[in-house]
Chains A and B, each alone.
Chain A
């Protein structure tokens, strides 16, 4: 016979203001099987938990119902509590009388009535609970980092520092990501390459870190602690182990007119190229679409000049299979395409550039060797207009609803650097709001205005009209209530940033969730910001939301700490609330196997005793791999013969709950 205890939490006034908690405890006490019921201000507090433990001992309770907040909040807490008092942790049920009751009702009478029903339902369920024991699974002591930008590099370095192996998979021929293209970093104005490239070298030289550049993760199977990934190493037609990065091939290559991705197409590169001088790995790659040898079979110049014999025109993609305990997503971002914003004449004039393009035009390794020149005619610009929020904070289909967060600061940086280098240049910045929260950020922006004389105009630009080699910028100055017209030499657009296009496929592959903007969702927006809701998947950098470099690095290290915490464990306890097939009912139809999203169900032939002269028969029945099953319950509803059941959420238990509600 069950002896159930019911504990009703006030949650301060969160519950007690809309639910008569004493009445709920009173009603629960009258339920059959309930031998103890009480209420308390904060059940989750140390005192509340002590009360539960004491009541279990004093009343020899066999099951516990806690009427409180959502089980997502404190189920784990209370499981530990009842376990400490000697009960099986799965002999606990939570009745959610906060999120599903007090928070959504205003009337105390209605709220109380519903809370009593919810309590009664949980009591009906706990009566049918069975003690469950969590299984164990091993942890592969290696992490996979998807994306080799500053976020991925920092996470990898920190994980390696703790002594675990890390693989970085980067789709570009070099690691480094967007930060390699940035000239200076705000608010200290140190050179991006000077602080990034040493980290890239550290990653390459670290014996715990393996870099798969020019590679993509194609498939991930398994679960936390034991993921299996397939990595496609794209053919670069150069043997990575032989190439010394001398660059002889790149200077001899006759196919020279290919857009240089590193300089965002502002200049050209050969068909065989090294992305930039500090690339890691510093290995050439052949762009097969531009290579004359690959296209026509004639040429082969690079092969002739390569003294290392590294050129391999017949190299094929390679598939590598590796096992991991944890996965870090660091897929990063891109500026949005501006083809839908033609009012700014981006496609009409080469002198209208994005902010990232301006970084290249100001960088010593860029197409102009660091001298700011107009892309159209190579002259010095004397009037430059910056337009902020291009595609950010938009309500329409053209843009993004969010603030891209980094644009205010990099625009202030650009404006300041231009005024510093070329004091004869007039710089105007059109803004909607200037947002500079961050250490030394507002001081930085004020310096641009006060010290460098950058003209900030509150208002947006309506249109940019190219005429006679100049750009007529027409916009609003809302503070003086005027329409302003500026004859500019260059216009710089602070384009919104969006998650890398691979984010969606990576999320699907990992069964990790993303939001409507394709940013990865964190397990809890405040308390678990670097974990995905999918166990074993962690988030680093802009893939989770817009961030600047300091924030990205901080999050990358936080993410690494979580990964290290996981890899440090020898065994993981698995969720015991998994599916189980009743072999005597299973008809062998395979429906469950087809609906299982985790591939946890297999079929095997088993011998069963039957009445009659044959005495036994062989039948094909379902088997659940408990380590792989996530307890989603898809099989239980799909099974036509009712053979599949979910431990802890059995059909009987759910029917008992429904009966209790309808009573």
Chain B
């Protein structure tokens, strides 16, 4: 069993993000359209991964509510790319069998015309065979 610190290092490596570049300006969370539906917010992901608080993040609702719209990546003044770190935390779970948040059968009924393309792609990312 990996320690939290090891998991954090894996997540950092997998995401290609250097959380130490973060200046804690909060622009990612200021711009996030899914903010209200998150328990941990994009800027918290960056600092919690840096501190190795992975178990809390694995339990969080936010990894599934992140839309992968990449607004935080687009606007981060430090090129930290918070969405990539959220994605890497999500992968940590997806790679463990049986932890899938979505069932493939459930996806079609979730789709509607107003859903942005990016959200659909993101939904499939959250589902793994």
- Report whether B31 and A389 are in contact in the complex, using a CB–CB cutoff of 8 Å: no
- Report whether B30 and A458 are in contact in the complex, using a CB–CB cutoff of 8 Å: no
> Which of B5-13, B74-82, B89-97, B101-109 forms part of the interface with chain A?
B74-82
Residue of A nearest to B78 (CB): A395
Given A394-B77, A396-B79, A483-B32, CB of A462 within 8 Å of CB of B43: no
B56 sits at the interface (CB 8 A): no
What's the Cα separation between A449 and B75 when bound, in Å? 28
Residue of A nearest to B41 (CB): A481
B125 sits at the interface (CB 8 A): no
B25 touches which of A396, A432, A463 (Cβ 8 Å) = A432
B 75-129 contacts with A by CB, 8 A: 75-80
A478 touches which of B26, B71, B77 (Cβ 8 Å) = B26
Return chain B residues, CB-CB under 8 Å to A478. Answer: 24, 26, 29, 43
- Report whether A460 and B78 are in contact in the complex, using a CB–CB cutoff of 8 Å: no
Instruction: Give the Cβ gap from B128 to chain A, nearest Cβ, in Å.
Output: 30
Instruction: Give the Cβ gap from A587 to chain B, nearest Cβ, in Å.
Output: 55
- Report whether B77 and A395 are in contact in the complex, using a CB–CB cutoff of 8 Å: yes
- Report whether A476 and B26 are in contact in the complex, using a CB–CB cutoff of 8 Å: yes
Return chain A residues, CB-CB under 8 Å to B25. Answer: 389, 432, 459-460, 476
What's the Cα separation between A475 and B26 when bound, in Å? 8
What's the Cα separation between A434 and B109 when bound, in Å? 49
Return chain B residues, CB-CB under 8 Å to A389. Answer: 25, 77
The range of chain A's interface size is: 20 to 34
Return chain B residues, CB-CB under 8 Å to A459. Answer: 25-27, 29-30
Residue of B nearest to A344 (CB): B75
Given A396-B79, A481-B41, A483-B36, CB of A463 within 8 Å of CB of B23: no
- Report whether B21 and A462 are in contact in the complex, using a CB–CB cutoff of 8 Å: no
Given A432-B25, A481-B41, CB of A475 within 8 Å of CB of B30: yes
Residue of A nearest to B79 (CB): A395
Residue of B nearest to A396 (CB): B79
- Report whether A343 and B31 are in contact in the complex, using a CB–CB cutoff of 8 Å: yes
A399 sits at the interface (CB 8 A): yes
- Report whether A483 and B35 are in contact in the complex, using a CB–CB cutoff of 8 Å: yes
A462 touches which of B23, B31, B36 (Cβ 8 Å) = B31
A393 sits at the interface (CB 8 A): yes
A 253-311 contacts with B by CB, 8 A: none
Residue of B nearest to A392 (CB): B77
Residue of B nearest to A458 (CB): B26
Return chain A residues, CB-CB under 8 Å to B79. Answer: 395-396
- Report whether A474 and B23 are in contact in the complex, using a CB–CB cutoff of 8 Å: no
Return chain A residues, CB-CB under 8 Å to B26. Answer: 458-460, 475-478
What's the Cα separation between A476 and B30 when bound, in Å? 4
B-contact bits for A455-470, CB 8 A (1 contact / 0 none): 0001111110000000
- Report whether B75 and A476 are in contact in the complex, using a CB–CB cutoff of 8 Å: no
Instruction: Give the Cβ gap from A472 to chain B, nearest Cβ, in Å.
Output: 12
Given A393-B77, A478-B43, CB of A432 within 8 Å of CB of B23: yes
Return chain A residues, CB-CB under 8 Å to B76. Answer: 396
Instruction: Give the Cβ gap from B118 to chain A, nearest Cβ, in Å.
Output: 17
Return chain B residues, CB-CB under 8 Å to A476. Answer: 25-30, 43
- Report whether A462 and B27 are in contact in the complex, using a CB–CB cutoff of 8 Å: yes
What's the Cα separation between A483 and B44 when bound, in Å? 13
A 429-480 contacts with B by CB, 8 A: 432-433, 458-463, 474-478
Return chain B residues, CB-CB under 8 Å to A460. Answer: 25-27, 30, 77
Instruction: Give the Cβ gap from B81 to chain A, nearest Cβ, in Å.
Output: 10
Instruction: Give the Cβ gap from A457 to chain B, nearest Cβ, in Å.
Output: 9
What's the Cα separation between A483 and B35 when bound, in Å? 7
- Report whether B30 and A462 are in contact in the complex, using a CB–CB cutoff of 8 Å: yes
- Report whether B23 and A393 are in contact in the complex, using a CB–CB cutoff of 8 Å: yes
- Report whether A461 and B30 are in contact in the complex, using a CB–CB cutoff of 8 Å: yes
Return chain B residues, CB-CB under 8 Å to A483. Answer: 29-30, 32, 35-36, 41
Instruction: Give the Cβ gap from B61 to chain A, nearest Cβ, in Å.
Output: 15
- Report whether A474 and B30 are in contact in the complex, using a CB–CB cutoff of 8 Å: yes
- Report whether B77 and A461 are in contact in the complex, using a CB–CB cutoff of 8 Å: no
- Report whether B24 and A432 are in contact in the complex, using a CB–CB cutoff of 8 Å: yes
- Report whether A394 and B30 are in contact in the complex, using a CB–CB cutoff of 8 Å: no
A461 touches which of B21, B27, B32 (Cβ 8 Å) = B27
What's the Cα separation between A210 and B74 when bound, in Å? 50
Instruction: Give the Cβ gap from A352 to chain B, nearest Cβ, in Å.
Output: 16
What's the Cα separation between A463 and B74 when bound, in Å? 12
Return chain A residues, CB-CB under 8 Å to B35. Answer: 483
Residue of B nearest to A477 (CB): B26
A-contact bits for B40-53, CB 8 A (1 contact / 0 none): 01011000000000
Interface-central residue, B23, B31, B77, by most chain A CB under 10 Å: B77
A-contact bits for B62-81, CB 8 A (1 contact / 0 none): 00000000010001111110
Instruction: Give the Cβ gap from B56 to chain A, nearest Cβ, in Å.
Output: 14
Return chain A residues, CB-CB under 8 Å to B29. Answer: 459, 462, 476, 478, 483
Residue of B nearest to A394 (CB): B77
What's the Cα separation between A343 and B30 when bound, in Å? 11
What's the Cα separation between A476 and B32 when bound, in Å? 10
Instruction: Give the Cβ gap from A218 to chain B, nearest Cβ, in Å.
Output: 38
Q: Give the A-binding residues of B (Cβ under 8 A).
A: 21, 23-32, 35-36, 41, 43-44, 71, 75-80
Could you show 24 A-B contacts with beta carbons less than 8 Å apart? Answer: A343-B31, A343-B75, A393-B23, A395-B77, A395-B78, A396-B77, A432-B23, A432-B24, A432-B25, A460-B26, A461-B30, A462-B27, A462-B30, A462-B75, A463-B30, A463-B31, A474-B30, A476-B26, A476-B27, A476-B29, A477-B26, A478-B24, A483-B29, A483-B41
What are the 3 A-B residue pairs with the smallest beta carbon separation, nearest first?
A: A462-B31, A476-B26, A462-B30
